[in-house]
Chains A and B, each alone.
Chain A
Amino acid sequence: QLQLQESGPGLVKPSETLSLTCTVSGGSISSNSYFWGWLRQPPGKGLEWIATIYYTGTTYYNPSLKSRLTISVDTSKNQFSLKLSSVSAADTAVYYCARHKQLVLDAWFDPWGPGALVTVSS
């Protein structure tokens, strides 16, 4: 059974860089059938897709966040990571990683990790 687990600091100072890692277990991140995604949910608000990566390094980014984003994959560790720079209080959210099934005109996310709350505060 595939499982994903987010990890990283729960508190980040404004203007600094938020860094999270997702560890995949029960399956290979190098599967040629799936991409891997990051999503977030501010407290009490809805879901927002952040970015997606394939094990070869192909990436998709949310245009509204692209200038601050870096996403990477480490196949040797079965992990993928997110870096979001110049954070502000608006970036406070629960951050989820998820497996991303990508077709030509379609994509969905399943399963999701339990989520990691990241608070941006001095």
Chain B
Amino acid sequence: SYELTQPPSVSVSPGQTASITCSGDKLGDKYASWYQQRPGQSPVLVIYQDTKRPSGIPERFSGSNSGNTATLTISGTQAMDEADYYCQAWDKSTAVFGGGTKLTVL
């Protein structure tokens, strides 16, 4: 079965750029989506089709996907961005999630 791998944690200082990676075999040949989950809340879609932002998601969230790695980038990170982030792809009629990355804004 297909697997997606994320780092368990990433730290960033307020105002700096945070990058969260998601690795999978030939992931660049698929599309990646990203979800933000704040403590005690439901996941929220922040990026779909590698680079697209849903309505209402701040422009500081961006995505890329090439080779074996998709990346979620948060520019000018704010304290409110502290959350768990999950990548997701669709493979052989199955939705696959990465294990999640806890973003800490120090």
Contact B96 A49, beta carbon cutoff 8 Å: yes
Residues of chain A from 81 to 122 with CB closer than 8 A to chain B in the complex: 96, 100-102, 105-115
A48 — which chain B residues lie within 8 A by C-beta?
Answer: 97
Number of interface residues of A (CB under 8 A): 26
Contact A49 B97, beta carbon cutoff 8 Å: yes
Interface residue B61 (Cβ < 8 Å from any Cβ of A): no
Number of interface residues of B (CB under 8 A): 24
**Distance in Å from the Cβ of A115 to the closest Cβ of chain B?**
6
Interface residue A26 (Cβ < 8 Å from any Cβ of B): no
**Contact mask for chain A residues 33-48; partner B; CB cutoff 8 A; 1 contact, 0 none:** 0000101000000111
Chain A at the B interface: SS class = strand
Contact A46 B93, beta carbon cutoff 8 Å: no
B105 — which chain A residues lie within 8 A by C-beta?
Answer: none
Tell which of B35, B90, B95 touches A105, judged by Cβ atoms closer than 8 Å. Answer: B90
**Contact mask for chain B residues 65-106; partner A; CB cutoff 8 A; 1 contact, 0 none:** 000000000000000000000101010011111111000000
B54 — which chain A residues lie within 8 A by C-beta?
Answer: 110
Residues of chain B from 1 to 42 with CB closer than 8 A to chain A in the complex: 1, 30-31, 33, 35, 37, 42
Interchain CA distance A106-B29 in the complex, whole Å: 11
Contact B31 A106, beta carbon cutoff 8 Å: yes
Contact B86 A107, beta carbon cutoff 8 Å: no
Q: Given contacts A46-B86, A47-B35, are A106 and B97 in contact (CB under 8 A)?
A: no
Chain A residue at smallest Cβ distance from B31: A106
Interface residue A56 (Cβ < 8 Å from any Cβ of B): no
Contact B86 A47, beta carbon cutoff 8 Å: yes
- Additional pairs, 15, CB under 8 Å, beyond known A109-B45, A111-B44: A37-B95, A46-B100, A47-B100, A49-B94, A63-B1, A63-B94, A64-B1, A96-B42, A100-B95, A106-B90, A108-B88, A109-B35, A109-B43, A110-B44, A112-B44
Residues of A at under 8 Å CB distance from B?
A: 37, 39, 46-49, 52, 60, 62-64, 96, 100-102, 105-115
